[in-house]
Each structure stands twice: as C-alpha cells, then as structure tokens.
A and B are shown apart, each in its own frame.
Chain A
Amino acid sequence: MSTLDVVTAGPLTSVQDAGRFGAQRYGLTPSGAMDRLSLATANALVEHPPFAPAIEIGPLKTVFIARGEPLCVALTGALRFARMGNEPCPLYRTFTLRDGDTLTLDAARKGVFSYLAVAGEMKGEATFGSFSVNARAGLGSPYPRPLQSGDRLLFENAQASIRERIMSPPVFGAGAIRVVPGPQYDEFGAATGVFFNSPWQISPTSDRMGYRLDGPALTHAGNFNIVSDGTVDGSIQVVGNGQPIVLMKDRGTTGGYPKIATIISADFGRFAQTRPRHTLRFAEIDVATAQQEARAFHALLQSLPARIRNA
C-alpha cells in the first residue's frame, strides 16, 4: 500500500475521470476532467485506460508527499516547474516517488490544469460509474470535494516497476476555438457577427462551472430569458448584460439563458486550458465538420499508447 498525502492544494484541484453519465435528467451534471487529452496522456504513460481517475491540479502551487511503497507517476497538461525535493521533475515522462519524497508543482506558466496519474489503483468508490468530484452534489471519491491539505490518497497494486516512459506532448487543434451554432443562434441576429469578429478574454472569475468571456456586449432582439432547456459542455450562453459564459464540466444541466454557440468537443480541452486574461477567438464550423473533428480527436486518444517511447 502506498499513499500520496496532500501538503498544499491550490484551488480547482480534485480527482477527475471521464465523468458520470445517465443522471442529467435528474439535474446531476457529469463533471469529469477539463482537459481529456492531458488526462488520457498521463494515464497512457502509467499504462492506465484513457479515462482512469487521476488528480486534476489547478493553476496554483500544489505539494504532495509520498508514503510507503514507491509510486510510479506521470504529470501532463499545464506547463509548469515541478520538482521532487530539489530535483526537477519532467513533464510527459514517468518518474518514481519514494517514501518521504515531496512533489512540488509551482504555479502554471502556460495552461491551467495539470494531470497527475499514479500507476496502480486509486482507492475509492465510484458513484454512477465515476470518481469525479462534484462538490455541489457532494459526490466524488475518495473525497466528495476538491482536495485540501491533510487529504490522503491510497493506491493499491502500485506498479513502481514500470520502465521509464516518455511521450512528446500531443497537440490537437490550434488558433481559433471552433464552435457550431447554438440552439438560439438565430435569435442573436447581428450579434453573431460581433461574436465571431471580436477577440475575447477569459475572465479571472472563471471556474469548473463556467468561463466568463470579457469583450463587447452581445445584444439581441429577443428576450434574454428563454424557457429553460438542456445544456452541454461548451454551451455558450449569453446572460442579461450581454456577457457570454461558456458552460464547463460542472455546469448546471439546464439553463434559462439563450445559447449562441457550442464549442466542439474536440476543442473543449484546449479552450479549458486557456488562462484568465488571455485572448482568443471563435470560428464557426458546421456539424459534419465538428463530427469529423470528434473522430480525429478520438483517433488521437487511441494512438497515445503507441506514441510512448522507453526513455
């Protein structure tokens, strides 16, 4: 038995996997990893299935200490300095934490979320098939809330004997974040032009529920309150003051604001990794192209184990 103890946890740090599905009709949102490609990459490095539970680490400093049998781990996602004691730790390459080793992740310099996968089985209990933390619903395992100092994660069958494995960071997409028209797209009239022709900044008040976008107000002819309908990851709703909010993994399952567009699933992780105050643009594509991109993204996930080299 080995453990990883949380010494310091920055905000937005929690255990996440693919999320829980099947209960959105009861108001239970899926949650799950913000950047599935980085989660799947960390898991591939430690020979786990793509969406096995791992630790999603927010952008601020986070420190763990290992206890017990050695742990083989991999760290992916946001670009940041990490060190074991005083030794720099590589990203996208497995390394071993031994009893008493401290793993320190400094604040992220590029991107928002890191993923720490540990070879072996994280002890916990899935609800609706998932370990993902959904603090509002009180679900998630081993803790039904974000990680905090003093928490202890247990790992069974730790596979410390894995050879050192390395992978070049996989990339999917670049430039404008691609969207398909949202369910109320037509009601926005000329505001759709403003949406696509303006640069947008991620607001610092963003979290796992939603990313607010700072930019011009999107006014439209209709009413800002619609009859509530369902939401998806990446739904871009426009609230009463004309500000767009992108619904993220802890979104409400339904909402009463009109939705101008939806970020395609293949670009969602790249969008989620965009830092506050950074500028981005949106580009419109059609549903057929979005589905083609979803297939390409899936193929990239499938190819991850084959991209690993022995160090």
Chain B
Amino acid sequence: MDADSNRRVFALDRALKAARIRGIVETVPTYRSLLVHYDPLTLGFSELGDRLLALLDQPASTENPSRHWRVPVAYGGAFGIDLDDVAKAHDISTDELIRRHSVPRYDVAMIGFTPGFSYLCGLDPAIATPRRAQPRISTPPGTISIGGVQAALQCLAGPSGWHLLGRTPVRTFHPQREPVFLIEPGDAVTFERIDASEFERLERLAERGEIVAELAA
C-alpha cells in the first residue's frame, strides 16, 4: 500500500476513460489495482487486456483533476468514543491526538465497502493503532476513524473494527442531493476541528442537501 502505486491506478483510470473503449461498463480504482467492469458481448478479455497494457506504458496524458476538501469533525465524547483510549495507548493528550489527526493532507485512496466510505492514506505513523479485536456491529453515520495505518471517513452507519475518533456532518453520499457523491477517489482531505454546537448546525444543513465541506484553494 503506497501512494505511488495508488497514483498509477488513478492515472490508468483517467487514461482508460479518455480512450473511450466501447464495452467498458465502469471502473473501480482501489489502493493498487483498477477493476474494469466490461461487457463480454462487446469486448473480448484479451483485447481489453492488450489495450490496458498499452495504456499502462504511456506516460500520463491527462491532468490530475483532484480537489482538496476541508472536512469539519467533532472529536471525542459521544462523537468519537475511542478518542481517549487511543490517546492513552500512544501516551499523548487528546488535544495532541486531534492535532496529529487533523494536520495531514490525506489522499482518498479508494471509496468502497458502502456508499461514500472513503479510505484515506497519509495517517501520521505515530498514531497508527492496530484494529480492534472485536469489531462493532454498528457505528454512526459520518464516523471518522483510524485502523492500522489507515484513516477513514464513512458516510452511512455500518459495522467497523476501527477506532472512532469523531464524526463529521459532511455527507459524502446523499441520494437527494446533486452531486449525489461529493468526494471522488483521488481527491485530498484535511480535517478541521469543530465543537458540538457547530456540528449540530452543519448537520441540519447537510441533511437538507447542503454541502458543508469546503474546497481548499
């Protein structure tokens, strides 16, 4: 899992999109592989393979369109029930843990598992924390978590074995909003600490379909 292979995945994904090959249904970029869904009635496996290999050899011809999002997060308490434990495990204060978590510029390495669940690369290695032995059956929508050397921004409630540091009111997936999906794989994310009342305010706006994450210049 490294940033360079992830960048190569996105470069291939963009090149493939630009090549407009008939028979490709959709693609799913992940950490270090690109899944290509195609229609075998239109496009043969070996023909597709040849074209992909040819695209891999070409230097990236299209510009990287990635954006940088500032994502507000309410940390600790009921928002992030594992914040204190994780701080203790690393023998630092919760403020220091929040600082170390919110400073980096993370890359959205992939989106998967459930709608809008964004896997982030770029966690400070000093706060990397092994996953929980017992995964939780359910974690709240908007949960911001870390597991091993990874960080995540999830949208929907769902099971998780990661450590819950906080929650964001940002909805990366909102079926009644345009765009339905806010963040693209390959975008960048930085977290900004907010308090509980600001969370409640933004949460109400986000529910109505407003976008409460800001684009960094």
Contacts and interface: CB of A to CB of B under 8 A. Distances in A.
A230 B35 contact: yes
Contact of A136 (B28, B111, B156, B180): B156
Interface stretch (A9-17, A66-74, A291-299): A291-299
A125 B132 CA distance: 41
A221 interface: no
A283 interface: no
Q: How large is the interface on B (under 10, 10 to 19, 20 to 34, 35 or more residues)?
A: 20 to 34
Contact of A253 (B112, B156, B172, B175): B112
A190 interface: no
Contact of B112 (A127, A138, A230, A287): A230
Interface stretch (B64-72, B89-97, B114-122, B203-211): B114-122
A146 B121 CA distance: 36
Interface residues of A, number: 32
A232 B37 contact: yes
B41 A253 contact: no
Interface string B78-117: 0000000000000000000000000000000011111111
Interface in A203-251: 227-232
B119 A228 contact: yes
Contact of B31 (A23, A227, A231, A287): A227
Q: Which of B37, B113, B156 has the most CB of A within 10 A?
A: B113
Minimum-distance CB pairs A-B, first 4: A254-B112, A230-B35, A230-B28, A26-B181
Given A25-B28, A227-B31, A265-B40, 9 more contacts: A24-B26, A25-B111, A26-B111, A26-B173, A228-B30, A228-B31, A229-B32, A230-B35, A287-B45
Interface of B: 1, 25-35, 37, 40-41, 44-45, 110-117, 119, 156, 158, 172-173, 175, 180-181, 185
